[in-house]
Amino acid sequence: MPGTRLTVLSMFMEWVKIDPKRLFWLAGLAGTGKTSIAVTLCRDLHADATVVLGGAFFCSRTANSIERTDARCILPTLAAALAEQSPGFAAELAKELKLDPRAPVKPITVQIGCLIRRPLAALASSLRPIVFVIDALDECTDEIEVEKLLRAITELDCGATIKFILTSRPETHISSSFISKSDRNDILRLHTIDTAEVTGDIQRYIHTEFSQQQLGTTWYTDENIKDLATRAGGLFIFASTIVRYVVKGMAANARRRRLQNVLLAVNTVAATLPLDAMYGFVLTRASSAVNVDPEELDLTRQGLACILTARMPLSVGALADLLGREKDDLLGALGRLQSVIHVPDQPDQPGLRTLHASFGDYLLHRAADDIRISASHGHNILAAACLDVMNRQLHINISQHRSSYKPNPSSKTGSIPLSVEYACLQWIFHVIARSDSWEFDGAVGAVFKPKFMFWLEVMSALGRLRRAIAMLVFAAATVRSFILKA
């Protein structure tokens, strides 16, 4: 099976030549290899005589250049790049600039006409599609300007065959813009590609990098490469960081030692610094976004704490129910972090989780004090939430079974909300994870004294009666005022 990156690149080249749509958005989470795809795509487009690479703009917050994070610089740069290749376009662009010399520094709504649409009239007869590539659009600092750019590109209408390929993280201000609402656009989300394919790609990448570093003696095995690829969890940035760390060892023994250290403990400080910088940036931007009030930030922290400590994947709806909040409020709070956490497309679809274990490790252990989240905080929230949900929602015949004399059919478990299922299955584990679990004694008694049988019904409907018995024994020994002692 061809590698995922090769498949994506092949798909892009076919789309450029055949598909009539104007724009293609490659959405990918932080560290999934979007920029490497964009770089390779530009190289392939440049080498293909049947298309024209009009220009490329690589946004970057680490380039120490304000222009690389300013969306208003993108169209002027692309226009200048195309003018270098096309005398006809250059002549028309010169006419526009003579009429309005300040067009490149004017608003994007003006730029699109002066610098792109009207000069492109000179290329209306060209049979070759003109392709512009814009990478890492999410790294532009002004979200409003990004939205203006996306609207301008989406609504662009000119005589020439023009294509835009964009890459970015699925940030809310991008995913909710015109880019995902127009039938003239295509979207590919990298994080939806089969994990096995991505892992295979990463394995090939590591093998290529290591094989180029031979020192006359073998310092790694195929099993080492496979293990590293698995640990990468789909993040190319993780794999590339580990590779750079390992090959810094100049001698074979040094590399072998570094490789073994990484395999034993992937959270080696030197290996995680780039990841930590990336995570810190994502969280800082999320917490300083425009119009984000303290209450929303608090909900974001609560959501992250719960995601890190939850014992099974929840949906946005289930977590919102556990927290006693509205789905839309929680979705808005977590939406700014979709580059590091997976938020399912449907609010009632389970799967809310961090994209990579390293993000959880960072939040729990290595993040700055104002960002770090303690596991006890998450357990405290979920312990209280589970008891609250059971207190509010447990009732007789919650599984809606017609007979109390027959076993509960598995089909009836669908009537039990995921939040209730989670609360009934997991409450004890969150309670005992707290060092001060005795504080929950009264709350546990308040729930189980009146609703003990309702809880047993849920456990029966879920086919977890054996687990219920074990939980009762454990609770009786741990929670001092448990129902059995009342």
In this prediction, residue 404 carries a pLDDT of 52
Whether 272 is in a domain gets the answer no
Q: Decide which of 323, 355, 373 is a domain's last residue.
A: 373
Whether 436 is in a domain gets the answer yes
The Cα–Cα gap between 96 and 26 comes to: 32
164 with 224, same domain? no
pLDDT tens per residue across span 8-29: 888 888 899 888 888 999 988 7
Whether 51 is in a domain gets the answer yes
361 with 389, same domain? no
Structural contact between residues 440 and 431, judged by C-beta atoms closer than 8 angstroms: yes
Task: Give the chain's mean pLDDT.
Answer: 83
Closest CA to 389 of 320, 482, 471, 486: 320
Least confident of 207-221, 297-311, 315-329, 340-354: 207-221
pLDDT tens per residue across span 59-101: 987 665 788 889 999 999 999 999 999 999 999 999 999 999 9
Q: Decide which of 373, 405, 424 is a domain's last residue.
A: 373
- The strand ranges marked E within 47-129 are 52-58
| Helices and strands (DSSP H and E) totals, the chain | 20, 7
Q: What is the CB neighbour count within 10 angstroms for residue 321?
A: 25
How large is the average pLDDT for residues 414-430?
Answer: 90
Domain with 313 in it: 288-373
Model confidence band, residue 260 (pLDDT cutoffs 50, 70, 90): confident
187 with 210, same domain? no
396 with 323, same domain? no
32 with 126, same domain? yes
Domain count of the fold of the chain: 4
Q: Residue 352 is part of a domain; what is its CATH number? A: 1.10.10
101 with 130, same domain? yes
The Cα–Cα gap between 55 and 165 comes to: 11
The Cα–Cα gap between 386 and 455 comes to: 12
65 with 186, same domain? yes
Structural contact between residues 93 and 115, judged by C-beta atoms closer than 8 angstroms: yes
177 with 33, same domain? yes
97 with 182, same domain? yes
pLDDT tens per residue across span 442-481: 788 888 889 999 999 899 888 888 889 888 887 776 665 5
pLDDT tens per residue across span 375-419: 889 999 999 999 999 999 999 888 776 655 555 554 445 678 999
365 with 386, same domain? no
256 with 235, same domain? yes
Q: Decide which of 158, 192, 226 is a domain's last residue.
A: 192
Whether 408 is in a domain gets the answer yes
In this prediction, residue 484 carries a pLDDT of 47
Whether 341 is in a domain gets the answer yes
Model confidence band, residue 169 (pLDDT cutoffs 50, 70, 90): confident
- CA-to-CA dists, residue 393 to 70, 227, 423, 449, angstroms: 50, 45, 10, 15
184 with 208, same domain? no
The Cα–Cα gap between 416 and 285 comes to: 38
